[in-house]
Amino acid sequence: MNDGNAAWTLITGSSQGLGRAFAEECAGRGMNLVLVALPDTGLNEVSRILERAHGVRVEAVEMDLAGPDAPAALCARLGEKGIEIGTLINNAGVGYNRRFSDSTLRENETTIELNVGALVRLTHLLLPSMKSREKAWILNVASLAAYFPMPSMPVYSPTKSFVLNFSLALREELRGSGVGVSVLCPNGIRTNRSSRALIERQGFAGRITCQYPDEVARAGLAGLYRKKSIIVPGIVNRMLRVASSFVPRTLYMRVISRRWGAQGSGARAVQVTAQSATRVPVTVGA
């Protein structure tokens, strides 16, 4: 049996944003990495930079994880190379700031396929070998939106509720095994251009709740290795999470609708997290 640190760390969606911050943080800790992102987005360059800077091994896999067969193809490739995963960070995710009636079916399908489908498939495929290790770790990236129905993001927020509840249930199932499961629920992160624009449009509330990718990645890894179940970086965000359990839903929905409901009402929309395979243009509404 091996311990989790001797094995490789797999990070999905790691060419930029939070995933890249995870990659830098893990490489800095001397961990060998498997990085996955969409093709032609600079993943190979990121990998070379990390290898040179930290003396670790990095395997770059360019792949659209939203396809139903992609996680199996990824695992087959790892098997061919004899790579065993000790830490799995399910980070890749996509979301659109758009009213449901203005969205395309493809956008909603991609959101579900990547945020839920790829995460479940990859976890299911890797879990047997992870369970055979003395220690292994799974960190799933949800969002604070997991706690709140979000108008203008009506599919994204339920996918993150799924990630939250799936992670908590899996954690219980794996209690007593060597596999630790944590779920990360950040508020706004200054990652891609659209996320930053959305944070700015929230004004003061956006600025006091948002964080930089490196601090969220550090909090995520620290929480994971301290065996925390739910990791909410930032004190204001932890207060918001607690408030979600005792403030009446009608009240917080009124506040959320006022702040978010109008955001997707314009003709233009913001893709708030990952660039998806559909490559919807990133444009900021007025």
Catalytic residue annotation: 156
Q: Is the distance from CB of 71 to CB of 118 less than 8 angstroms?
A: yes
Shorter beta-carbon distance to ligand NAP: residue 51 or 214: 214
> Could you tell me which stretch among 81-89, 183-191, 221-229, 236-244 binds ligand NAP (CB under 6 A)?
183-191
Return the H-helix or E-strand segment holding 96: strand 96-97
Q: What does the H/E/C string look like for 123-160?
A: HHHHHHHHHCCCCEEEEEECCHHHHCCCCCCCCHHHHH
Select from 26, 37, 74, 231 the one that contacts ligand NAP (CB under 6 A): 37
Chain CA centroid to CA 105, Å: 22
Name 180's Cβ contacts closer than 8 Å, sequence gap at least 6: 135, 136, 137, 138, 171, 174, 224, 227
The span from the CA of 265 to the CA of 286, in Å, is 10
User: Per CB under 6 A, which of residues 45..64 are in contact with ligand NAP?
Assistant: 64
Q: Select the residue interacting with ligand NAP from 31, 34, 66, 112 (CB under 6 A).
A: 66
Tell me if 240 contacts ligand NAP by CB under 6 A.
Answer: no
Q: Please report, as residue ranges, which positions from 124 to 153 form the binding site for ligand NAP (by CB under 6 A).
A: 141, 143
Closest CA to 272 of 182, 206, 221: 206
Shortest spacing between CB 198 and ligand NAP, in angstroms = 7
Q: Could you say whether residue 192 binds ligand NAP (CB under 6 A)?
A: yes
Please identify which residue in 7, 26, 27, 65 interacts with ligand NAP, judged by CB under 6 A. Answer: 65
Query: What distance in Å separates the CA atoms of residue 158 and residue 154, rounded to the nearest whole number?
Result: 7
Nearest approach in angstroms of CB 92 to ligand NAP is 4
Copy the structure tokens of residue 196. 């930053």
How many residues line the site for ligand NAP (CB under 6 A)? 33
> Does 93 interact with ligand NAP (rule: CB under 6 A)?
yes
CA nearest 272: which of 148, 153, 128, 124?
153
Considering the complex, state which of residue 38 and residue 136 has its C-beta at the smaller distance from ligand NAP: 38
Which listed residue (7, 74, 94, 127) binds ligand NAP by CB under 6 A? 94
Positions in the binding site for ligand NAP (CB under 6 A): 13-19, 36-38, 41, 64-66, 91-95, 114, 141, 143, 186, 188-189, 191-192, 195, 273-277
